[in-house]
Structure 1
Amino acid sequence: MHATEVFARYATEFHRQPLPEEVLHHAKRAVIDWHASLYPGLATEPVRLLEDTSAEDLDRGRARLAQGRAATARAAALINGTAAHAAEVDDSFRDAMYHPGAATIAAALAAGQDGGSTGLEFLRSVVLGYEVSTRIGVVLGRPHYQFWHNTGTVGTFGAAAAAAGLLKLDEAAFAHALATCATFAAGLQQAFRMDSMSKPLHAGRAAEAGLLAAQLARRGLTGSLDVLDGEAGLGQAMSNGPDWTRIGATLGTDFHITRLTLKNHIGCGHSFAAIDGALELQRLHGIRASDIAHVHVATYRPALEIACYERPTTANEARFSLHYVVASALVHGSVRLAAYEPERLDDPVTRDLMVRISVAVDPELDAAFPGQRAARITITTVDGRRLTHLQPNRKGDPEQPLSDAELESKLIELASPVIGSEQARALLARLWTLDSEETLS
């Protein structure tokens, strides 16, 4: 069987089996985190421009944008998927180097609203999208991640699988939905190596493309079932010819959705181990920014390649600046939305500390990537002390997860400025009981 067929066979079995309570709980956590990511993204310029450009597909249709505006299903998937990735606060599955929620949940929600699905059907489809797509990301591996943005490429499969589940595609049609969406998969890392607005569109386009592939498959459109593992397939073209033979080995027994990383800071996740390590050194030794002569960050190579801006001048660049976020954390104690406001970006104390930060690749930590995201922080104080801390994981990783209470606080913090605290709390209560909802409308 080709990989697409393995996933399709699993999808058929998946719909016949009850969902374990632990998995259902983690699906709800993923959906809550998606909403926490969605609301701050609504105010970003890419989302505003996208709404303006998509005007003819808005104010009609059965799907909804975040604040209730009617939309066609594909427009809702595109815009909500973009918004959920725009503020850089969405979930990730570490081993796949991939943010699964933005595209997968956007497509599932659009398909579910459009088709009148129940809350439980929606949650099950989210699980299916995560389980299929994360495995594809793991197989494609680090060679794929060297050039491609997995949220745009791998995310297309998450969206397609979730939408196909809600559309109740049979085994053959499900396989064809995956085969077709593979030809839509795109998103280059170079798109965010300069200051640009393109990156969040990768998630939105993945959501839209996956939904479209599922809709087409429902109507009988076929794709090349060997598109992943064929000699000219995605594995060869976008990776190093990986082995697909065990792609389904743990499906149904090891649920990846239970091992997500949920962000505790706002910005590029590759910088979070360094932030956590710097804050821990500060906590252990009572260091103030004025006490610091130099900070050295040793970490894995992609952190330096992606969080690459040494002297950021915009909020976008600051989100991808290891120098900035570490300095801002040490000066202000956290890296939240306020870190990217103009007064924080231009804060002279932060800017002064950035000059005293150096970064380098640690070969040992780099060899452990992507399964581990670690950083070694060394702070030299003005009185001559040399303090070192190895941060093996990030707060929010499976080894140090956000509690349900911390996740709830994240949603309230990020949604309240947009919809008000009362409505944010009402939304949170409804999300925890989604499995009992008769409709997503």
Structure 2
Amino acid sequence: MNPLLVLAEHAASWRQAPLTEEVEHHARRALIDWFASLLPGCHLPPATLMAKALAKERGNGRAVSYVDGARTGLRHAALINGTASHTVEFDDIWRWGVYHPGCPTIAAALAAAQTRDLDMRALLRSMVAGYEVSCRIAQAVQPSHYDFWHTTGTVGTFGAAAAVAVIYDCDATQTAHAIATSATMAGGLQQAFRGDGMSKPLHPGHAAEAGALAAMSAKEGMTGALDVLHGPAGFAAATSEDTGKWEKAIAAIGQPLTITQMTVKNHGCCGHIFAALDATRDLQREHGFAAQDVAALHVAGYAATKNVCDRPSVTTEQEARFSTQFTVASLMEYGGVRLDAFAPERLADPKIRAVMPRISVSLDEECEAAFPGARSAKVSIRLNDGRELFRYQPTRKGDPDAPLTDRDLDEKFLELVTPVLGERPAKDFLRALWTGGDLPGELDLLTRR
């Protein structure tokens, strides 16, 4: 069995596959969630800096760069929008693959659909295909892939390639070559977000552009190595501990469709902290303590919670978004971890800084054994009055087994998008994303900066 050919056949079938009411609903949820993450990021670096750097190379086109509000070429829009959509860390998650599929897949698919002047249903079908291909590949190479690689930058390239191949009406053979070519352009290192810097959001932007290029080239006859996923020197062998768990990943194709099983983020930070935040929030609600009442708080979690998010000292927004200490302290003090949690005044807030040294993180073997299928944490709190509190959080609010409702998603969208578009335009845009048949086009962003 060649997994690439199986995935390509499945992706190509979505050129004409009927969208059931359930699948269309979940695909629209994914699109709404992507725009909720994208639009706040359009005003922030690195996307603003990249748009400025590339302005003279933009050229003509029909795809929309939401960062600078201009019509441009497919690859430029995919790159810039894919980068912007990952900046505020509110994008969706395929938990079994440790992967954010929306950023690279939708950025490329939407730019391609705009370029070809297609409708909403064509976009939604292409998204389903891109999610299916990339999420299954992510599942096949985890958990060891995540030791060194940022899955959204690597595997995201496959999602973009498959989605754009559907938009360009590639047959199964052309789609296979698009996926194969995209493999050799995949990249994204863990160190990019274990330290400081702006390059992490670039990963899905690059994936979106590279995947789009692979699909556009395959449509014109360019070929790739069709054993590139599972071969002895292929993608899985190079980026995971073996040549991939393909049988398990392929057997699960469409049962159910991955786009119906997404995690929708409920906090604006790294998802490896979410279980700890949920447990802390619930304990605080039940027992009525304030942040200053905490003598010590300990989070025991899986390896990524410890290795990526144990950051007792932070100086930048990037570091704070990946700090269990900062985000848990912020949650206890202000009731949530949303966009304002990382404003300069919050980063320097003495109340948060006073609590951070009381928070510690360790690896828990039970939580690690359940990863990546479950994202759990054990939170122990000792209060100044001597009370000892404990909560085992087996999953995260927003995961498929504890999903955000449509109303929750609407509230998230309006919270993040209203400051960008204004209240009435944000509500109108949300309604169009839920029910509209036309593709999203330009938005009035520049006048609100």
TM-score, normalised to structure 1's length?
A: 0.97
Contact persistence 1:301–1:361 (CA under 8 A): yes
1:143 aligns with 2:144: yes
Distance 1:59 1:175, change over 3 A: closer
367-376 or 250-259, which deviates more: 250-259
Counterpart amino acid of residue 106 in structure 1: A
Query: Unpaired segments of 5 or more residues in structure 1?
Result: none
Q: Which residue of 2 aligns with 1:411?
A: 413
Q: Within 1, Cα distance between the matches of 2:295 and 2:306?
A: 22
Distance 1:355 1:226, change over 3 A: same
Q: What are the within-5 Å matches in structure 2 for residues 79-158 of structure 1? A: 79-158=80-159
Q: Within 1, Cα distance between the matches of 2:440 and 2:378?
A: 48
Q: Which residue of 2 aligns with 1:361?
A: 363
Q: Which residue of 1 aligns with 2:172?
A: 171
- Structure 1 residue 64, shift from structure 2 partner: 0.4
Contact persistence 1:164–1:214 (CA under 8 A): yes
- Structure 1 residue 316, shift from structure 2 partner: 1.0
3-state SS in 2 of match to 1:61:
coil
- Structure 1 residue 305, shift from structure 2 partner: 1.2
Measured against aligned partners, the alpha-carbon deviations of 1:26-47 in whole angstroms (never above 9, x if no partner) come to 0000000000000111122211
Distance 1:439 1:200, change over 3 A: closer
Alignment match of 2:402 (pick from 400, 403, 407): 400
CA RMSD of aligned residues (A): 1.4
Q: Within 2, Cα distance between the matches of 1:72 and 1:120?
A: 22
62-71 or 223-232, which deviates more: 62-71
1:34 aligns with 2:34: yes
Contact persistence 1:58–1:69 (CA under 8 A): no
Q: Within 2, Cα distance between the matches of 1:211 and 1:256?
A: 21
Q: Which residue of 1 aligns with 2:2?
A: 2
Measured against aligned partners, the alpha-carbon deviations of 1:49-79 in whole angstroms (never above 9, x if no partner) come to 1101111343621100226411111000000
Task: Give aligned-pair identity as a percent.
Answer: 50
3-state SS in 2 of match to 1:29:
helix
- Structure 1 residue 247, shift from structure 2 partner: 4.0
Q: Within 1, Cα distance between the matches of 2:441 and 2:292?
A: 52
Distance 1:228 1:313, change over 3 A: same
Counterpart amino acid of residue 190 in structure 1: Q
Alignment match of 1:351 (pick from 353, 356, 372): 353
82-91 or 42-51, which deviates more: 42-51
Measured against aligned partners, the alpha-carbon deviations of 1:110-132 in whole angstroms (never above 9, x if no partner) come to 00000111110000100110011
Q: Within 1, Cα distance between the matches of 2:432 and 2:16?
A: 26
Measured against aligned partners, the alpha-carbon deviations of 1:332-364 in whole angstroms (never above 9, x if no partner) come to 111111110111111111111111111111111
Q: Within 1, Cα distance between the matches of 2:252 and 2:277?
A: 34
Q: Which residue of 2 aligns with 1:389?
A: 391
- Structure 1 residue 308, shift from structure 2 partner: 3.2
3-state SS in 2 of match to 1:331:
helix
Aligned length: 440
1:43 aligns with 2:43: yes
Q: What are the within-5 Å matches in structure 2 for residues 224-263 of structure 1? A: 224-240=225-241, 241-263=243-265
- Structure 1 residue 423, shift from structure 2 partner: 1.1
- Structure 1 residue 277, shift from structure 2 partner: 0.6
Query: Unpaired segments of 5 or more residues in structure 2?
Result: 443-449
Contact persistence 2:140–2:248 (CA under 8 A): no
Q: Within 2, Cα distance between the matches of 1:177 and 1:147?
A: 25
